[in-house]
Every structure is written in C-alpha cells, then in structure tokens.
Amino acid sequence: DFTNPQTRAWWFSKRQYLLDMGVSGFKTDGGECILSDEVLFSDGSTGKDMRNRYPQSYVDAYQEFIGQERITFSRAGYLGAQRSMLYWAGDQLSQWSELQAVLKAGLSSAISGIFWWGFDIAGFAGPMPSKELYIRSYELGSLVPLMQWHSEPVGGQFSELLKSEDLINDRSPWHMGARYSADLLDICKRYSIMRKALQWYLVREAQVSEQKLQPMMRPLFYEYTSLYCDVEDQYLLGSSLLVAPLLHEGQTSRSVLIPQGSWFDLFTQETLEGPCTIEREYPLGQIGIFLNTKDPEFTRLQESFGSLCV
C-alpha cells in the first residue's frame, strides 16, 4: 500500500542495501493486480478506486526511491506513465499473433508518451517458438528502443494453463540455436553485432527525443501526414531508419511504403525516391531496413549495418 507513508518507508528501508551495493535500478514487474474491489487502502481509496491508479503509484514510489540517476523497468502504468523510465510489453505467448500485436503495442505506447520501450523477443511463455518465429522476432527486437529476451521459468504462472513438453523454457539465442540449427545462432549474432554498432545512432536519437519530446520509435503518420494513418506494420526508428518487419508465418516478401525523401535500401543497395510503394523479397534473416540518405552521418549509419550485409 504505497498510499501509507509509514508502510512505504518500511518497504524501501528493506531495499536500501541494494542501492548501497550500486544497483542501477529495479525491474518493477507486475503492479497491475489488486485482489478485489473491496480492498481498502490507507488513504481511504477502495480497490475499485485504485484499479488504474495503483500501477502508477507503485512505479512512482520506486522512481522516487531510486532518484533520477537510476532506472525503473516496468510493464504496468496509468496517467503519468510517461514520467517513468523504461517499459516493456508484458508477457506474450510465443505465437505469430502476439508478434503482430506487440508492434502495434509499441507504436501505441510511443504516441502515448512512452519513448523507451521493448518486448520479450519471441515471447515469454507457452510452447517454445518455432525457428522462423524466433528469427523474425529477433529481427524486429533488434530495431526497437530497448532490445531484450526473457522467458518464463519452468513451473511459472502459465505452466498449468499451457501444458508444454519442454523442460527448459530458455529463449536465449544460444539455447534456441542448439535446439534448431547453427544458422539461427549466426543470424542472431549478426543482428546483435548490428545493434552494438548502431549504439551511437540510438544515443543520438534518444537525445533528440528528450530535447524535442518525441518518441524515437514512431508510426509514419507522426513524421509525415495523416495519409499514413493505416500503416500499422512499418515504423521509423529515429529520424533516419525506416523499418518494415516480417510478421506472418511463411512470409518471405512484403510491400513497403516509402515516404517522401531519399531512402537507401540496405539489402538491395538501391536509392529510392519517395513517396512510392515497392515489393521486396526478405528471406529468413532479412528485414526491411531503409536509411535516410540525408542523414548528416549517412556513411557511418550505413557502415553500422555491415554485419547484416555479409
């Protein structure tokens, strides 16, 4: 009950030693559940009153405790969630429909003021992802503001609902590579190298986002016009990267809407003048990536993707 100052002080006194040890922050998991509408909080609020307010009071309390130099990494929130540091999309199952939904969740979060967002690559729970799903999700996950993989431990909350024969739920690239094939691990390695090489760009664009109060991952209509309002499967990552992921089982090609401007197609090495719509083939291990040729550091940006163009 974070509405009770004494309880709040007691709770965080038990966690002060972690700050003293030098931890950088807390993963403020959960937070969206209240036992019943009849629960009574210290300030007189009922469970019904706090249904939406509690998640934010929880995250805000932790943020106040750790200060502005450390981070919270949360999944639940309410009005004011944009004040908190980092968010991820919660628990997804390893299904194609969840991958499709998570991109919409990211874009919705972005235009709601939540700039620093990510998701569990290839899902958190349920039956293990297929090789194809894992790779397609890894491609997408490497090109959002926060990249992470995470999975439910054996015997976790979904284990009774979704029976699985797997004794190990680990969705790490090395475990999935051992489960399927070496080429899966190689693809993940190349995207991880790319992510590291792109760090300078992500830092630059993060600073721009802070200065201009605009999301780093944003739908096309945010940057251009309302004509792009129905584009739900492409997005911009910063000002100079256009991303077009593959989100459906068996999909190896897609149409890409190129907005106005001059864009360099990473995999075909063509320069395209928008607006236009193109058709492209994307075998497993390739995702639609287009670079704004007007970026002041275009050559450096192009070189950052070297691991994908071998």
**What residues are labeled active site?**
29, 32, 91
Tokens 């979704």 belong to which residue? 162
d(CA 244, CA 232): 10
**ω into residue 259 within 30 of 0, thus cis?**
no
Please answer whether residues 271 and 263 qualify as being in contact, where contact means their C-beta atoms are separated by less than 8 angstroms.
yes
Number of residues that this document lists for the chain? 310
C-beta neighbour count of 270 within 10 angstroms: 12
Phi and psi at 174, nearest 5°, equal -70, -35
Tokens 């090495």 belong to which residue? 269
d(CA 41, CA 33): 14
Q: Which of 84, 96, 143, 146 is nearest to 120 (CA)?
A: 146
Please answer whether residues 237 and 205 qualify as being in contact, where contact means their C-beta atoms are separated by less than 8 angstroms.
yes
Please answer whether residues 220 and 259 qualify as being in contact, where contact means their C-beta atoms are separated by less than 8 angstroms.
yes
Which residue(s) pair with 26 in the sheet? 72
How many helices and strands, by DSSP H and E, does the chain display?
Answer: 10, 11
Phi and psi at 30, nearest 5°, equal 65, -145
Strands 288-292 and 86-88: unpaired
